[in-house]
Amino acid sequence: MKIAVAGAGGMGGRFALCLHQSGNDVILIDQWQANIKAIRKDGLTASLNGKVITDQIPIYYPDEIDEKNEKVDLILAMVKSPQLDQMFHAISPIIQDDTYVLCLMNGIGHEDTLSRYVNPGHILSGTTMWTATMKGPGLLELNGEGSIDIQNIRPEGKQAADKVIEVLNQAGLNARYSDNVLASIWRKACITGGLNALTALLECNNMELRSLRVFDAIILEIVKEYIAVAEKEGIHLNQTEMIEAIQDYCRPTVNGFAFTSMYQDLIQNHRITEIEYMNGAISRKGKQYGIPTPYNELLTQLIHAKEQLLTAF
């Protein structure tokens, strides 16, 4: 199978390596210059459960992709959320009518972005338990075992899902079909949607956030809006279950002492956040479906405000 892995970070690199080693025709597409230079010069090197292997995999900048490139059968979407639209715009020349896309990225609304470039019946969503660490340009540390759960976002995509699962399993990636992938993506998004923006805005960790007297009241409104929008997308989330999951996530023995990724991005590193793929997606989809989502909308606006104050954005 001809496969393009869009995003040659840790996870993209892992999947590209396994798929290439199992005999597929794989290319990488990435924007990080040092990474591209290293992989072109020395190949992609990984410590795979302690054993060092190196593999020569072609790698391209997105804007090197043009009509001359061969069409691909499958694209793995593995970029950072804000890069997805630009990436697929650039690589559209290699997308043909029967190209499948498997998106393993966190966040809400990626399928809407992908639908602008790919037949929605060919879009697959997934979650993965594989991990990967990028040790430097072209250099990966890959430990442990993992798995991939896959679900088609449209009924007609089931056949595509089965085919992609087969290819992933030939590469030893433990893929399986699951009816729960979309719901589990939404559940994860609802938890991060409840915590990330608030911790970044109030500059506290999960446990401190949980200790606030207004916590339950704010979380309730956020979750209710997530549930209403999810329902319109055919995903049923349970309110009590979601609220308990958020509270549980903040326990000292779970993630209480941790700072959310949005706190790290905005407060520690003064970087633009992924708010548009969390609460911002709920606000956008709410408008689209005619559902009021004022809590998610104001939180999105306040994070954008803080981005503008703290970064050069």
10 Å Cβ neighbour count for 83? 17
Residue 85 in the binding site for a second copy (CB under 8 A): no
Q: How far apart are CA 45 and CA 285, in angstroms?
A: 41
Residue 252 in the binding site for a second copy (CB under 8 A): no
Stretch that binds a second copy, among 94-102, 141-149, 170-178, 197-205 (CB under 8 A): 197-205
- Residues in a beta bridge with 126: 150
10 vs 286, beta carbon nearer a second copy: 286
214 vs 312, beta carbon nearer a second copy: 214
CB of 217 to a second copy, least distance (A): 6
10 Å Cβ neighbour count for 222? 24
183 vs 218, beta carbon nearer a second copy: 218
Q: Which of 2, 158, 188, 224 is catalytic?
A: 188
10 Å CB burial of residue 82 (0-12, 13-18, 19+) is middle
Residue 292 in the binding site for a second copy (CB under 8 A): yes
- Answer yes or no: 188 catalytic: yes
Q: How far apart are CA 210 and CA 215, in angstroms?
A: 6
Q: How far apart are CA 273 and CA 74, in angstroms?
A: 29
Stretch that binds a second copy, among 2-10, 43-51, 61-69, 302-310 (CB under 8 A): 302-310
Among 40, 146, 215, 291, the residue binding a second copy under the rule CB under 8 A is: 215
The tokens of 65 are what?
Answer: 């992709």
CB of 301 to a second copy, least distance (A): 4
The tokens of 18 are what?
Answer: 């396994």
Q: How far apart are CA 200 and CA 42, in angstroms?
A: 40
10 vs 194, beta carbon nearer a second copy: 194
Residue 220 in the binding site for a second copy (CB under 8 A): no
Residue 270 in the binding site for a second copy (CB under 8 A): no
Residue 53: DSSP 8-state: E
Q: HSE (CB half, 13 Å, CA atoms) of 16?
A: 32
Helices (H) and strands (E) in the chain, counts: 12, 12
CB of 222 to a second copy, least distance (A): 9
Residue 302 in the binding site for a second copy (CB under 8 A): yes
10 Å CB burial of residue 285 (0-12, 13-18, 19+) is buried
Stretch that binds a second copy, among 161-169, 235-243, 249-257, 294-302 (CB under 8 A): 294-302
**CA 119 vs CA 27, 34, 36, 65, 156: distances in Å:** 21, 33, 29, 20, 11
Q: How many residues bind a second copy (CB under 8 A)?
A: 26
Stretch that binds a second copy, among 82-90, 242-250, 265-273, 290-298 (CB under 8 A): 290-298
Kindly list the catalytic residues. Answer: 188
Q: Which residues bind a second copy (CB under 8 A)?
A: 198, 201-204, 208, 211-215, 217-218, 221, 292, 294-295, 298-299, 301-302, 304-306, 308-309
